Structure 1
């Protein structure tokens, strides 16, 4: 495309988080001409980041020695943070850098997802490319064309979000510090990779604690006398002693029971609130078995397809300016549902509107565009969630559910019995919910509901009642499901937090799904029949870790402090100083493994458990581990690391056979060694040199042999 070279030809560069979002924005702005990695037109350039383009560098980027995991190198505390770009994303970063440098670009618009991580993704690219041009922020909760257009009419200065960026940067750097140092510390101490994370580990601790509670639970029986009055049943008090319950049964059987009191109360069940991400993930897990990550992925896709609003929200309310559009949106939502109750829809906006309870984004809603969408063409998971959003919206603005509760007290031979009943006076929002749930293949279990009682009055007598004893058992705590773990993460540590704390719990709605997935991926937890259980390795890890690392209360406190950084109540350096202090203290406190815990981490099963050779430093046995070959004596420190630069440069692997030769003879003949100089391969003898502190390698060649 021919571009004008005049300085008065001004362009705005829009940077979205993903290409699909960038294309949606470009369509609204009229930027339809395609370039390599961007779109242009209407006075705009539109490009995208493809997720996290710029990320924190690994430890070895700060010093080559960090390529090996050693206690003496800890803690690793970078003075100046380094960043890196993966090879597969380097091309898109180059596109963005070149677009930023174009002289006709006078400003940059951050159109990444409107949240903490979206802010971080954009700012790291902006800083990495050395851009100094003015930036603005697009902040929208919907990808609908009208929402995008409105967002561009009300762009805000990028500096308005500086505190959000600082909080995101602190979160990223804190996770790096704790993750890198704690993982290396405990992996070195116990000679196998033990993943430790600032939020992941306290979440694992919740799973382990629940498993311990279940294991320690002792089932106890209890006995309840029951009395059949013909048209209803009444129950006595529970007894631990069967004889006591049998005595009441015997005394009352065939006798007369008299009604002592009848209490009737009208009760109201208010409509449920709209969904934030966590409550949606919990509900989707209960109804469909979706994992938290699946729900987030489906919702992100619906958002990008303009069928749902921004999913990563912790609010369950709407803003006042949205109230006028609710009747039309409710009608649209009702039109897409596959069932009908025949009830007239009620829209009470007051139930869902509260400016004070909307943070960065309002509650999740279906958009007006669902009316024109081909819902049958959507993936089943996305369609299920869209129907769930529609049902919740209709219920949330609907009429309350009204019922009358009756509690009847009876006396028989001096023993008290109670009967409860319930009569629905107005179905209200529950009519919609019941009709929807009837359409589900796997219908959720219903809570025990009281049936209606007959008309009863004080003094009324029932002759010749029949009695029995019902046996029951106390129930153990239930293993966590994704639903209940999300709830526990959301409230963890909240009892120790100030009432006005802005952020409670472990992680955020946007990060909890990823934390759960990482626990499963690293083998610390496992999914079984919709349950989340700690794996054996996870239980062992929690056993060896100190409270400061695994405490949900402490991690919840850090989340609260991050929110303070975002709100301006705490500076970024203050937050990071606390994390650094924790890291230094951790390394100083744990310089040697606890001997009592070594049995929790046995050597790998099979041939690896057999010694590879004798340690050239102390004479101890060298055994194979996941990352190399190590002396079994903790205070020795001798190691042959698999990721050794010497072998990597020659494109060879340090195998068990090679390690055994080096330990036995000090040398190992090898063929197929790669020459970086010539690009050819050759044969030589690898010689190991043990300095007492380090292990080095060199090559020896036979006479006449060429490298």
Structure 2
């Protein structure tokens, strides 16, 4: 009898099959003596859409809202039905005795597999593979320690509850807003409060008014002391500052206090922190960082499971530290010293079983990296993960902070100086030796400077700072936050700009039109904490969904009763040539387009001409494709030359550069043939 192993992606299935000896490759699976390894393609199934459940819900009407089905059900997603059918045939084989869920070890991975097993009506035992890295060693250890799938039922219930909650809130509120205001307005349980966080920061910037203030400093030699004051902005004009300074005579050193400070190394990364760090250092989007870490985990197998929300490690991982260090032995000179000293972790607080939920922090695996196979961006992310990991083995950073207080009557000035005792993990910190021999009671001359300063405006949120706020308010999970940001940009509610993230005019209006309870992160934060509780078996998914249904009814009711007005900023003054209605401007992957604002009209065209790869015969620059009354044609915008677009037959006749190269290669390899004249001459010469 054989195990049917279900991976989430073909690449993972390939690795599992290699380790498990499934060497027979088929179109949809691998097979070996004891196992059959197949794969999903991400989600193969999704919740049914409203039109699948009720004919009345096919048309978007306010009268049919809210849509609260008794049972939603699942259906196959388009384009991947062939793989689902193949899995069903494998599951029904008589030589299959049990299934092993080997999808990503997380909430969404659990949902991917459980829905497939439910759809194919798998009625045999099921087990769960739960691993945090894709190395051969981890895979073997994971299969030696398979758990019953029932042990993860709560995680599955949490995943279903999340999916249904998004269906109920997202589809109902989006439909209500779209129907009421006659424009595509997308709202959601997580995306709307996320958008509101960006807008909240924008309002702070808009209402900011710069203020002038003055700073008084005491200069002693080359050092500068700060004046002690409750409010750093309290001196509003120069006269006040000069008035304070003029009253002061000689000062004296009132106290010298030295304090030893020890700073432990930072904990390893979780997904959100490495996304923030990569955004700050390299300007990577959250989605790009997730993709890079996923590649390091899945393809190169040199980091552990990326979609983690923990910065801690379990106690049993102490035994793996030496191997992980050996894998990165060439990373920096100090690594060999750490190995020689017994691979002892100095940051003891990192080992905390209570703070590790599904997965531990991001770490390098025991597998050595092949840098030649990594892209430059993958190397950057890998270097971040390894550098943070190595800090765990470095000594704490120790310094002595000297604080000198100089008094001028009631006025006090503070001089601080740090002396590094042991650099430890903080190797880059510089120290400057004090040029003054301070002594208590020492007289200090009144050498003051007055500097004019201006308050700085708040900075717009970028993806790094937005991720931090999303984490603070429990908006989404580490695995979904990048996707939420991308969805807001794709739906034209938010834009990326060189300065940071910016809410579009459409997004600003949406936040005014949508329910205040959905704009605030409080309600979503409450929902997310309940989902976490469901995963831990501490809350009922049934009670959660009943509450979501009630909240959905209230949200739709508020939209229906709203008297807010909506202005479509995408509507242009250009008229549709077919029906006369105004055209609406839309962003697409292929550039900006114009579409007719009338629901009955299907007219659409590009806003700007499409740039082709066809070159102008005169200036050799790329020509535009122009849609004319008699069809499309090429036009050079630099010298006005036009050319007819080739027909399908003409395109076939025209040889591509690739075909040209292939023919050249073929002919260059053939033996040159002698002409009849050359052959006759050769024969005549041989007779002589």
Common fold: TM-score over 0.5: yes
TM-superposed CA distance for 1:625, in Å, is 6.9
Aligned equivalent of 1:351: 349
Give the Cα separation in 2 of the matches to 1:21 and 1:101.
Answer: 23
Secondary structure class of the residue paired with 1:323 = helix
One of 380, 383, 394 as aligned partner of 2:376: 380
Q: Is 1:309 aligned with 2:311?
A: no
Q: Is the 8 A contact 2:513 2:559 kept in 1?
A: no
Q: Is 1:487 aligned with 2:468?
A: yes
Structure 1 640/478 Cα, relative in aligned 2: closer, same or farther at 3 Å? closer
> Deviations along 1:570-626, whole A, 9 cap, x unmatched?
22211111111111122223325524x33x43571123599968xxxxxxxx87779
Aligned equivalent of 1:547: 516
Secondary structure class of the residue paired with 1:226 = strand
Q: Is 1:519 aligned with 2:488?
A: yes
Q: How does 1:386-405 map to 2 (within 5 A)?
A: 386-405=382-401
TM-superposed CA distance for 1:334, in Å, is 4.4
Aligned equivalent of 1:409: 405
TM-superposed CA distance for 1:158, in Å, is 0.7
TM-superposed CA distance for 1:74, in Å, is 0.9
Give the Cα separation in 1 of the matches to 2:135 and 2:71.
Answer: 41
Secondary structure class of the residue paired with 2:495 = strand
CA RMSD of aligned residues (A): 2.6
TM-superposed CA distance for 1:414, in Å, is 5.3
Q: How does 1:457-496 map to 2 (within 5 A)?
A: 457-463=439-445, 465-492=446-473
Give the Cα separation in 1 of the matches to 2:449 and 2:434.
Answer: 22
Q: How does 1:200-599 map to 2 (within 5 A)?
A: 200-236=191-227, 237=229, 238=232, 239-252=235-248, 256-304=250-298, 305-337=300-332, 347-348=344-345, 350-370=348-368, 373-412=369-408, 415-431=411-427, 434=428, 452=434, 454-463=436-445, 465-492=446-473, 505-529=474-498, 531-595=500-564, 597-598=565-566
TM-superposed CA distance for 1:70, in Å, is 1.3
> Deviations along 1:623-658, whole A, 9 cap, x unmatched?
77799xxxxxxxxxxx9745xxxxxxxxxx64499x
Aligned equivalent of 1:196: 187
Give the Cα separation in 2 of the matches to 1:564 and 1:354.
Answer: 20
Q: Is the 8 A contact 1:53 1:89 kept in 2?
A: yes
Q: Is the 8 A contact 2:4 2:37 kept in 1?
A: yes
Q: Is the 8 A contact 1:235 1:417 kept in 2?
A: yes
Structure 1 244/33 Cα, relative in aligned 2: closer, same or farther at 3 Å? same
One of 121, 128, 132 as aligned partner of 1:130: 121
One of 596, 607, 611 as aligned partner of 2:574: 607
Give the Cα separation in 2 of the matches to 1:608 and 1:549.
Answer: 36
Structure 1 606/452 Cα, relative in aligned 2: closer, same or farther at 3 Å? farther
Moved more, 312-321 or 117-126: 312-321
Q: Is the 8 A contact 1:540 1:601 kept in 2?
A: no
Q: How does 1:26-65 map to 2 (within 5 A)?
A: 26-65=17-56
Q: TM-score, normalised by structure 2?
A: 0.81
Give the Cα separation in 1 of the matches to 2:294 and 2:335.
Answer: 30
Secondary structure class of the residue paired with 1:314 = coil
Give the Cα separation in 2 of the matches to 1:490 and 1:32.
Answer: 44
Secondary structure class of the residue paired with 1:47 = strand
TM-superposed CA distance for 1:480, in Å, is 0.9
Secondary structure class of the residue paired with 1:477 = coil
Give the Cα separation in 2 of the matches to 1:326 and 1:452.
Answer: 41
Give the Cα separation in 2 of the matches to 1:387 and 1:656.
Answer: 47
Aligned equivalent of 1:75: 66
Secondary structure class of the residue paired with 1:106 = strand
Q: Is the 8 A contact 2:326 2:366 kept in 1?
A: no
Structure 1 263/139 Cα, relative in aligned 2: closer, same or farther at 3 Å? same
Aligned equivalent of 1:99: 90
Give the Cα separation in 2 of the matches to 1:155 and 1:509.
Answer: 26
TM-superposed CA distance for 1:528, in Å, is 1.5
Q: Is the 8 A contact 1:611 1:623 kept in 2?
A: no
> Deviations along 1:284-325, whole A, 9 cap, x unmatched?
111111111111111111111211100111111111111022
Secondary structure class of the residue paired with 2:479 = coil
TM-superposed CA distance for 1:474, in Å, is 2.1
Moved more, 94-103 or 277-286: 277-286
TM-superposed CA distance for 1:63, in Å, is 2.9
Aligned equivalent of 2:640: none
TM-superposed CA distance for 1:142, in Å, is 0.8
Give the Cα separation in 2 of the matches to 1:314 and 1:478.
Answer: 27
Structure 1 452/126 Cα, relative in aligned 2: closer, same or farther at 3 Å? farther
Structure 1 456/591 Cα, relative in aligned 2: closer, same or farther at 3 Å? same
TM-superposed CA distance for 1:88, in Å, is 1.8
TM-superposed CA distance for 1:146, in Å, is 0.8
Q: Is the 8 A contact 2:308 2:361 kept in 1?
A: yes
User: Which consecutive unaligned segments of at least 5 residues does structure 1 have?
Assistant: 1-9, 436-445, 493-504, 614-621, 628-638, 643-652, 658-707
Give the Cα separation in 2 of the matches to 1:334 and 1:412.
Answer: 57
User: Which consecutive unaligned segments of at least 5 residues does structure 2 have?
Assistant: 587-596, 606-688
TM-superposed CA distance for 1:64, in Å, is 3.7
Give the Cα separation in 1 of the matches to 2:373 and 2:338.
Answer: 29
Secondary structure class of the residue paired with 2:80 = helix
Give the Cα separation in 1 of the matches to 2:604 and 2:468.
Answer: 46
> Deviations along 1:418-477, whole A, 9 cap, x unmatched?
22221111100111xx39xxxxxxxxxx9xx987563311111234x4322111122222
Give the Cα separation in 1 of the matches to 2:420 and 2:541.
Answer: 55
Structure 1 207/28 Cα, relative in aligned 2: closer, same or farther at 3 Å? same
Q: Is the 8 A contact 2:221 2:435 kept in 1?
A: no
Structure 1 19/313 Cα, relative in aligned 2: closer, same or farther at 3 Å? same
Give the Cα separation in 2 of the matches to 1:453 and 1:85.
Answer: 74
Q: Is the 8 A contact 2:399 2:421 kept in 1?
A: yes
Q: Is the 8 A contact 1:192 1:626 kept in 2?
A: no
Secondary structure class of the residue paired with 2:441 = coil
